[in-house]
Structure 1
Amino acid sequence: MKFAYINKKDWKFSHSNTVRVNIGEYIQFYAVYNLLKSMGIDDDHIVGMSVDELEKYDGEEIILVAVNISNLYRISPKIHIVCLAYNNFGYSIDNLKEINKLQSLGEIGCRDEIGYLQLKELGINAYITGCITVTLPERNVSSVPNKVYIVDAPTDLLKHMPSSLLDKAIVKTHEYYFEDNLPTDEEIERKVCEQYSEYYKNARLIITSRLHLAAPCIAWGIPVILVRKTPFLTFSWIDKYIPIYLPEQYGSIDWNPRILDIENEKKVIITHCAYQIIKKYEEVTNQNMLHLLYSERKYRPQNGYYTKLVQGLEDRILSKIDVTEEFDYIIWGITENAEELWKFINYKYRHARMRYAVDKYKKLNFHGLETVTPESAMFNDAYVFVIPTGAVQEARTILTGKKCKGIFCVTELFITEEDIKEQLENRLNM
């Protein structure tokens, strides 16, 4: 079985014929791939897909490690989801299909606290996982990094920054706009690789408002100053590691933050993620093995099985009673099968009339008739349909000597001592 992860976006032009690409989304894709590789899964068993491909997928069953994704109900049923970082971006979850899908998955890892609270309010088993990018391994570089990067930082921050940092600062962005021609996957991947590799090799300090720059840099061991104009909902997890500076705090920023050691936290996260992936794999594999055990059967009937109990009876009725015949009938035992039988007779036999609804234990109205006990019913000149297994022997006793037009039992008749006695006597008299 293969393991899937999202590795590309389905970029489309907006009404302005402009596409905005945030390269930070791609570092998450790499982090999932890195997680799968750390589990010892080789590339032959790892497949990258876009969201559009996940929705249209119709191949062999695969396991998707889902991060930073919502609208899970759209994903192909051939795909088994391990949700490690569900993210609805703070929007309310009011799609019933999505709610049902989330409930069916059992356990939902949420990237941030707001997502966790949303799911808990819906009665869904959820917990906070943070962003998978914090599991990236600590960097290992030969030279001492000495560059300061300012990446999409608010302009209001500028007046608070020390001149010593401004002199050396390299300004970058994670947003790129494309007009007329959509970027290819290769172009975007190359840009992501180049830019994040530059941070990895050269950065001694990152000043940014970008979540998906701050998180991987924390994992790599690069000091980060995270600044925002407003406290955004999806950041409600990263403040476990570093402060989120808002405008009123710009004047008190620590411009020389320390390198964080989060190796213990990484172990906890990676162990849990691996456990969830392995659990899903074993669940699907064992389920498929059990299904295969009984789906490939040596003694399967040539003409197949009836899918419902009443369907076996339908063939017997059609072979015994002409559809044009006018008759009375009695249903004995008001169960779910009784409802199916009534529908069948009502549809196939337009001249049939239900005389009694017989039930020894239930008092109810069944399609206009109040139920009666077996002793109260008049069976003569009527077809009798006996449904419950437990009523068969009683029906045989009560109907003996009655001039019924015919008796049909939904369930099979089982051999009794009286049957054996009668069979032996018949054989002696032959």
Structure 2
Amino acid sequence: MKYGLLNYIENQKYFNVGDNIQSLAAKQFLPKVDKYIDRESLASYDGDQVKLIMNGWFIHNTTNWVPSDKIIPLFVSFHMNNTAAPSMLSDKGIAYLKKYEPIGCRDEFTVKILNEKGIEAYFTGCLTLTLDSYKVDDSERGEDVYIVDPLYNYPSKQRLFYNSKVTIKNLLNGKALQLRKKQKHLEKIISKDILETAKYIDQEPLNNITDQEKFKMAEDLLKSYARAKLVITSRIHCALPCLAMGTPVIYINGFDSFVDSCRFDGILELFNRIDINSQTGAYNANFPLEGKIDANTMVENLGLHHKLAEPLKERCKKFIAE
């Protein structure tokens, strides 16, 4: 049997290294990788028959769904975004998913929309919760605090001035005037010292490197997070691996659109979390926090992910062994 691994060939200015991190989570269960298969071209795959772990976010190119019959899929940690669901859940799409049910879903939202179409589905959580293979001994943990894409849904130069057309639109609608909002809201919850000394990571950088380099970047980030004193992030594919690796992590949740929030149903409960009102900056934490996050802030991960990670490992191992 041959084994495939998802990769992500998108003609966009930026890429999300969180996708590659999810593929690394799948890769650890494979005896080898015989073929990289583009998530957006699953229907057109015409190579050798392969087993493929189908985890992650699906999809941009809904015209290329359903996958080729040369792909033997395992559906775990599968997220169907609400923007793609109407096209993916055509009669053909429903019949395809029913063929491989039960479908293991990354979030409760996906479970719900599949169940509504008569597809047997269950909640697995995210496969990145199994990345404890990157965990290091606590003696190797340093003093670095990482701030990874905090409140990245807020207005930013990257998003507001993407091209001339978008720039004009955001100047006219007033969004360009909100550029300072993210910094103001972060200053309410993170001390000046941490904001000035932390290491900042962008998990959605320019799409100007090779596929191999993207996977190398994902691996290097995991190794860095594994040795961190603390990680503060709004990226679930930073926070979830941190849980797996035992790295203290605080998740900053400032999302207010359903396109974003539907991804989190069943996942947010796993984190030490600060919820921020994106309009007012008012916030509350689900863990003891006196004042702002500073050099003395100590958090212990909740440990709730273990009940999801272990069944995921067993399901993937069984799929490969079958």
Q: Fold-level match, TM-score > 0.5?
A: yes
Name 1:420's counterpart in structure 2.
Answer: none
Q: 1:268 to 1:187 in 2, by over 3 A?
A: closer
Structure having greater relative contact order (Cα 8 Å, sep ≥ 6): 2
Name 1:4's counterpart in structure 2.
Answer: 4
The yes-or-no answer on 1:109 pairing with 2:104 is yes
Tell me how far apart the structure 2 counterparts of residues 59 and 108 of structure 1 sit (CA, whole Å). Answer: 24
Name 1:80's counterpart in structure 2.
Answer: 72
Residue by residue, what CA displacement relative to the aligned partner does 1:294-343 show, whole Å, maximum 9, x if unpaired? xxxxxxxxxxxxxxxxxxxxxxxxxxxxxxxxxxxxxxxxxxxxxxxxxx
Name 2:214's counterpart in structure 1.
Answer: 188
Bigger radius of gyration: 1
Q: 1:259 to 1:85 in 2, by over 3 A?
A: closer
The yes-or-no answer on 1:140 pairing with 2:165 is no
C-alpha displacement at 1:224, in angstroms? 1.1
Work out whether residues 145 and 230 of structure 2, in 8 Å CA contact, stay in contact via their aligned partners in 1: yes
TM-score by length of 1: 0.56
C-alpha displacement at 1:30, in angstroms? 0.3
C-alpha displacement at 1:164, in angstroms? 4.9
Work out whether residues 87 and 115 of structure 1, in 8 Å CA contact, stay in contact via their aligned partners in 2: yes
Structure 2: segments with no counterpart, 5+ residues: 152-181
Residue of structure 2 aligned with 1:99, choices 81, 94, 97: 94
Residue of structure 1 aligned with 2:18, choices 10, 16, 24: 24
Name 2:52's counterpart in structure 1.
Answer: 64
Tell me how far apart the structure 2 counterparts of residues 196 and 130 of structure 1 sit (CA, whole Å). Answer: 19
Q: 1:90 to 1:9 in 2, by over 3 A?
A: same
Q: 1:157 to 1:88 in 2, by over 3 A?
A: same
Name 2:233's counterpart in structure 1.
Answer: 208
Secondary structure in structure 2 of the residue aligned to 1:76? coil
Structure 2 matches for 1:303-322, cutoff 5 A?
A: none
C-alpha displacement at 1:260, in angstroms? 4.6
Residue by residue, what CA displacement relative to the aligned partner does 1:346-384 show, whole Å, maximum 9, x if unpaired? xxxxxxxxxxxxxxxxxxxxxxxxxxxxxxxxxxxxxxx
Work out whether residues 252 and 273 of structure 2, in 8 Å CA contact, stay in contact via their aligned partners in 1: yes
Q: CA RMSD in A?
A: 2.5
Name 2:176's counterpart in structure 1.
Answer: none
Tell me how far apart the structure 1 counterparts of residues 213 and 316 of structure 2 sit (CA, whole Å). Answer: 30
C-alpha displacement at 1:105, in angstroms? 1.6
The aligned amino acid for 1:116 is V
Work out whether residues 106 and 123 of structure 2, in 8 Å CA contact, stay in contact via their aligned partners in 1: yes
Name 1:33's counterpart in structure 2.
Answer: 27
Secondary structure in structure 2 of the residue aligned to 1:234? coil
Secondary structure in structure 2 of the residue aligned to 1:64? strand
Work out whether residues 82 and 277 of structure 1, in 8 Å CA contact, stay in contact via their aligned partners in 2: no
C-alpha displacement at 1:2, in angstroms? 1.5
C-alpha displacement at 1:247, in angstroms? 1.3
Name 1:273's counterpart in structure 2.
Answer: 316
Secondary structure in structure 2 of the residue aligned to 1:174? coil
Work out whether residues 149 and 206 of structure 1, in 8 Å CA contact, stay in contact via their aligned partners in 2: yes
Work out whether residues 4 and 47 of structure 1, in 8 Å CA contact, stay in contact via their aligned partners in 2: yes
The aligned amino acid for 2:129 is V
Tell me how far apart the structure 2 counterparts of residues 170 and 25 of structure 1 sit (CA, whole Å). Answer: 22
Q: 1:163 to 1:109 in 2, by over 3 A?
A: same
Name 2:267's counterpart in structure 1.
Answer: 238
Name 1:122's counterpart in structure 2.
Answer: 117
Structure 1: segments with no counterpart, 5+ residues: 14-18, 37-41, 282-430
Work out whether residues 5 and 49 of structure 1, in 8 Å CA contact, stay in contact via their aligned partners in 2: yes
Work out whether residues 275 and 284 of structure 2, in 8 Å CA contact, stay in contact via their aligned partners in 1: no
C-alpha displacement at 1:263, in angstroms? 4.5
Q: 1:107 to 1:132 in 2, by over 3 A?
A: same
Tell me how far apart the structure 2 counterparts of residues 222 and 75 of structure 1 sit (CA, whole Å). Answer: 36
Work out whether residues 66 and 96 of structure 2, in 8 Å CA contact, stay in contact via their aligned partners in 1: no
Name 1:197's counterpart in structure 2.
Answer: 223
Tell me how far apart the structure 2 counterparts of residues 251 and 66 of structure 1 sit (CA, whole Å). Answer: 35
Work out whether residues 65 and 277 of structure 1, in 8 Å CA contact, stay in contact via their aligned partners in 2: no
Q: 1:105 to 1:263 in 2, by over 3 A?
A: closer
Q: 1:75 to 1:265 in 2, by over 3 A?
A: closer
C-alpha displacement at 1:264, in angstroms? 5.3
Judging by fraction of residues, say which structure has more strand: 1
Work out whether residues 221 and 260 of structure 1, in 8 Å CA contact, stay in contact via their aligned partners in 2: no
Tell me how far apart the structure 2 counterparts of residues 65 and 183 of structure 1 sit (CA, whole Å). Answer: 25
Tell me how far apart the structure 2 counterparts of residues 168 and 219 of structure 1 sit (CA, whole Å). Answer: 25
The aligned amino acid for 1:268 is P
Work out whether residues 222 and 241 of structure 2, in 8 Å CA contact, stay in contact via their aligned partners in 1: no
Name 1:151's counterpart in structure 2.
Answer: 148
Residue by residue, what CA displacement relative to the aligned partner does 1:232-269 show, whole Å, maximum 9, x if unpaired? 11011223421442215635463432145454542222
Structure 2 matches for 1:318-333, cutoff 5 A?
A: none
Tell me how far apart the structure 2 counterparts of residues 99 and 244 of structure 1 sit (CA, whole Å). Answer: 36
Tell me how far apart the structure 1 counterparts of residues 191 and 40 of structure 2 sit (CA, whole Å). Answer: 46
TM-score by length of 2: 0.73
